[in-house]
Structure 1
Amino acid sequence: MKKIILVLLLIGLGISATAEEKMITTSDGVDLYVKIEGKGKPCLYIHGGPGSGSFWFEEFFGDFMEEHFTMIYLDQRGVGRSGSPKNGDYSLERMSLDFEEIRQELGYDSWLSIGHSFAGILQMGYFENYPKAQDGMMMINCTLFLEDSFCSSWGPKASEFLGETYVGCEKDSLSLMERISKLGDQLREKDLFWKMAYVEKENQAIMDATYQGFPNWNYDLGNNVFNFEEYWNKYLSATSDIDIPVLFFHGTKDWMVGPEHYKKVEFPNVLFWQYEGGHIPFQENREDLKKAILSYKTKYNFSI
């Protein structure tokens, strides 16, 4: 009896009594891990990486999000607790269809999305393929053009941390992916990679430790996604045609995407929010991110 009364009380207060975890099978036979928790307007978390999974965001920022939204945490195909496609289809069109099939399976007429980093490209592709599915997008340190983020910030800053000067993308003797790989390896060898995303070194170790509970983490997406040309498209140029409300949250020390990247974004209905911090605000800059999301929610009346 006490348990029933507690559940009824939680429902009366608008608080989710339990989380729901499930596997949703896509139309091409891929089992996707999905977790639903919280209250309020449904909001799909689209993780970056590519391949970082949804657990990071849930672990460090889920408590806040679930107070204000019904959160849908998804490990994308080829990532984390989800399966991989037998035909190797990681195209942006197929990824968008995954999001749409999950929305339909869960019975939502529409929803919000919140994305981090590489997820900006996924959000743009999703809108391009299903323009009525998202009522709004929250973009947290998102890139909308990979080449711009690398050439303007990633390459030069990584080289600076290594004590070198980057010659620039146009003069580089290596391809973009070869240069990214080489710089990444050098940063890791010298224990400097953390500087690209974090302000405090210990936070990377804390973040990395979250993976320890998942010994069979699926890395297939990250190993294959850049073989698809559409992920290299310049989605910055499409922002002026998207009129749904957008929160564009960007950091002054986010070297992964670039602190100047936001200046090339032209959403007509946008709330820009700059903060003093790096690439992982849901861990290092929680209060700034909370204020931005609450302002966005209030400004565009996303209460229900």
Structure 2
Amino acid sequence: MYATINGTKLYFDVNGVETEVKNGTIQHKPIIFVIHGGPGGTHFSFKPHLDHLTNHAQLVYVDQRGCGYSEEGDPETYTLENNVEDIEALRKYLGLAKIWILGHSYGGMVAMSYALKYQENLQGLLLIATSPSYRFMEKAKQYVEENGNDDQKFYANKLWEGNFQSEEELQTYYDVMDPLYSVASQNKESKPKVKAKRSYKALNKGFGEFLRQFDVVENLRDIWVPVLIIAGKHDWITPVSENRIIHENIPGSSFCVLDNSSHSVFVDERDECLALIENFLADHK
């Protein structure tokens, strides 16, 4: 499905129902906007894992502008600010009142930024393996220098520089870095992941430009909606320490660390992650 908003065509997909009848009464489920990472990712990487949440919520998967099935448009418009405005415009387009936002990695950065501007339209935030500032990059660089092999160091430098030249080169990056992104990928018998279209232009724009100035740490204390933060113990790019900073600066937030996960927590410990989300939603109806 497409929505023409803010000068672009944004792709979204809705899974699950918003209302259901239980014990003879109509009950409303929470509506969760699912915001992918990258920048340059796609909602498709979440679907095999998050669709299990439809027993508890209605999911609105979103491909950010220039990403996935959304219109490519002008790369100069690939900004965090526009990603925030696109979420708000889509919420209005769908005629929704308050929503939850689940943001993974860069999607969590978008979610926090949305909360700081449009908090009155939020029920809560589900922040998964993310960071509140550009400082995550220095920690990730150090991790790769100390633990990465030669290929991983080479392709990680392309990430820091925002210097990918094609979708194929970006896919090679993810193939090479996969053992760092997922504990499960180190198991030769693990299930194959969905290889979805990624935007190297959006990734370059983020790491080469606007993520270098991203910092919401000092503003997080202004967030008052319910917030759940989930981190992977072995996450190399948005480590536990970055997620803990979010927790320490958002009053009343909940913080959990998954012991057998890296950055791809839905791949490494899907059931444990979904249980945390389901329980949090139940506690904040």
- TM-score tier, shorter chain, comes to 0.7 to 0.9
Q: Hey, what does 1:140 align to over in structure 2?
A: 128
Change (3 A) 1:195 1:57: same
Alpha-carbon RMSD across the aligned residues, in angstroms, is: 2.8
The equivalent of 1:85 in structure 2 is 73
Q: Secondary structure at the match of 1:257?
A: coil
Please say if 1:225 is aligned against 2:206. Answer: yes
Partner of 2:101: 113
Match of 2:153 in 1: none
Please tell me whether the aligned partners of residues 184 and 267 of structure 2 are also in contact (alpha carbons under 8 angstroms): no
Q: Say which one has the larger Rg.
A: 1
**Alignment CA distance shift 1:24-1:203 (3 Å):** farther
Q: Please, which runs of 5 or more residues in structure 2 have no aligned partner?
A: 18-28, 151-156
CA distances 1:172-228 after superposition (whole Å, capped 9, x unpaired):
xx99933998xxx9xx69x75223211133589822x432xx6xx654322323455
Aligned mates of 1:34, 1:175 — CA distance in 2 = 30
CA distance in 2, matches of 1:71, 1:175: 33
> Which residue identity does 2:253 align to in structure 1?
V
Asked if 1:158 is matched to 2:144, the reply is yes
The answer to whether structure 1 residue 34 and structure 2 residue 12 are counterparts is yes
How many residue pairs align between the two structures? 256
Give the percent of matched residue pairs that are identical in Structure 1 and Structure 2: 23
**Cα separation, partners in 2 of 1:218 and 1:161, compared to 1, 3 Å:** closer
Structure-2 residue corresponding to 1:288: 272
In the superposition, the TM-score normalised over structure 2's length comes to 0.80
Unmatched segments (≥5 aa) in structure 1: 1-21, 165-173
Inter-partner Cα distance in structure 1 for 2:220 and 2:137:
19
Deviation string, structure 1 residues 9-41 (Cα, Å, up to 9, x no partner): xxxxxxxxxxxxx1100132x111111111321
SS of the residue 1:260 aligns to: helix
Which stretch shows the higher mean deviation, 218-227 or 291-300? 218-227
Asked if 1:196 is matched to 2:180, the reply is yes
- Taking the aligned partners of 1:145 and 1:204, their CA distance within structure 2 comes to 32
Matched, 1:256 2:243: no
Q: Distance in 2 between matches of 1:179 and 1:105?
A: 33
Give the direction of change, closer, same or farther, for the CA distance of 1:72–1:160 in structure 2 (3 Å limit): same
Asked if the contact 1:93–1:129 (Cα under 8 Å) also holds between the matched residues in 2, the reply is: no
**Aligned letter for 1:281?**
V
Paired residues of 2:162 and 2:203 also in contact (CA < 8 A): no
Structure 1 residues 203, 221: closer, same or farther in 2, change over 3 A? farther
Partner in structure 1 of residue 195 of structure 2? 210
* TM-score for both structures, normalised by structure 1: 0.75
Aligned match of 2:22: none
C-alpha separation in 2, matches of 1:121 and 1:231: 13
